Amino acid sequence: MATAIVNQTISEFKSIIPNILRIPNHKFWLDYDNEADVLYINFKKPQRATDSEMLESGILVRYRDEELVGVTILDASLREGM
């Protein structure tokens, strides 16, 4: 097995753990569309948003009534280190 790749992947995941633990929702799902360079973060399955708001940063937040159910990050690969 490609040990260097496995070690690099584990190291990258370990570096994001503190950020993941700060997310207020206990469960969430990530989907990344490589072709469109869009990262979808859903806090509910199915999320069934009833409203959305595009922030100036190019991030779309989705709501079901008053509850945040998802975030869509456009140009995700360009946001490293935000």
4's enclosing H/E stretch is helix 3-21
Q: Has residue 64 been placed in a domain?
A: yes
| pLDDT at 71 (0 to 100) | 94
pLDDT of 39-74, one tens digit each? 999 998 887 899 999 999 989 999 999 899 999 999
- Mean pLDDT value across the chain: 89
Is 53 part of a structural domain of the chain?
yes
Q: Do the domain assignments include residue 36?
A: yes
Question: Could you tell me the pTM of the whole model?
Answer: 0.77
Whether residue 34 is contained in a domain is answered as yes
The model's confidence at residue 1, banded by pLDDT at 50, 70 and 90, is low
The pLDDT score that the predictor gives to residue 38 is 96
The whole-angstrom separation of Cα 14 and Cα 40 is 21
> Is there a domain that residue 16 lies in?
no
- Boundaries of domain holding 69: 25-82
**Res 22 pLDDT > 90:** no
How many domains does the chain fold into? 1
DSSP code at position 78: G
